[in-house]
Structure 1
Amino acid sequence: MSDTRLRLKRLLGDVPAFSDISGSSLKTIEFDGYQLEHLVLALNGIESVPALLAKPLKGPAKVPVVIYQHSHGGNYSLGKRELIESSDYLQKPSFAKALTDMGFGVCAIDHWGFGERSGRKESEIVKEMLLKGQVMWGMMLHDTTALIDYLETRDDLETSQLATIGMSMGGLQSWWSSALDDRLKITIDLCAQVEFQHLIAANGLDHHGFYYYVPGLLTHLTTVAIQGLIAPRSRLCLVGSHDRMCPLSGVKELDNQLTTIYDRHGGRWETYYSSAGHQETLAMRVKWQAFLSQEMR
Structure 2
Amino acid sequence: SVTYRDTELTECSRSELRELRSEIQYVFQDPLASLNPQLTVADIVGEALAVHDVVPPDRRDERVRELLETVGLQAGHATRYPHEFSGGQRQRIGIARALAVEPAFIVCDEPVSSLDVSVQAGILNLLSDLQERFGLSYLIITHDLSVVEHIADRVAVMYLGELVETGTTTEVFDFPSHPYTEALLSAIPEPDPCWAGDRIVLEGSVPSATDPPSGCRFHTRCPRVIPPAEYDLETDSFRSIMALRTRLAEADADAGLEALLPRPDAHEDVTMAIRDASGIPHRLED
* TM above 0.5: no
TM-score, length basis structure 2: 0.25
Name the one with the larger strand percent: 1
Larger radius of gyration: 2
Tell me the TM-score normalised to structure 1 length.
Answer: 0.25
Q: Which of the pair has the greater relative contact order for Cα pairs under 8 Å at 6+ separation?
A: 1
